[in-house]
Copies of this chain bind each other. A is one copy, B any other.
């Protein structure tokens, strides 16, 4: 049920921007804060949420701390989504092809 955390984590726009920025390569907290319109503590809090959700991981690099995307949370989210994919297509098709009533058409 960690996909719940991942979804709530990615719901926030700013947090999503952090995550999307990390797609173009690892970055430190300061780097991210410099590119975003929020303070450094805010970024730190966002990264904490993303980390709990399994979407990012961190690694110490001297006094800094480098963050990068973690495939774990991403994979779990993908699997959850795929549960709907095939089912959705089938139900959708069935529903559309069924024009309310097999035969008829009343027009006063």
Q: Name the interface residues of A67-108: CB closer than 8 Å to any CB of B.
A: 68-71, 74, 77-78, 81-85, 87-89, 91-92, 95, 100
**A64 touches B (CB below 8 Å):** no
Contacts A81-B74, A91-B68 hold; do A11 and B8 have CB atoms under 8 A apart? Answer: yes
What are the residues of chain B within 8 A of A85 when measuring CB–CB?
A: 71, 74, 78
Report whether over half of chain A's contact residues are helix, strand or loop; otherwise say mixed: helix
What are the residues of chain B within 8 A of A84 when measuring CB–CB?
A: 19, 23, 69, 74
**A25 touches B (CB below 8 Å):** yes
What are the residues of chain B within 8 A of A82 when measuring CB–CB?
A: 78
Interface readout for A41-76 with B: 1 if CB under 8 Å, 0 if not?
Answer: 000000000000000010101000010111100100
**A30 touches B (CB below 8 Å):** no
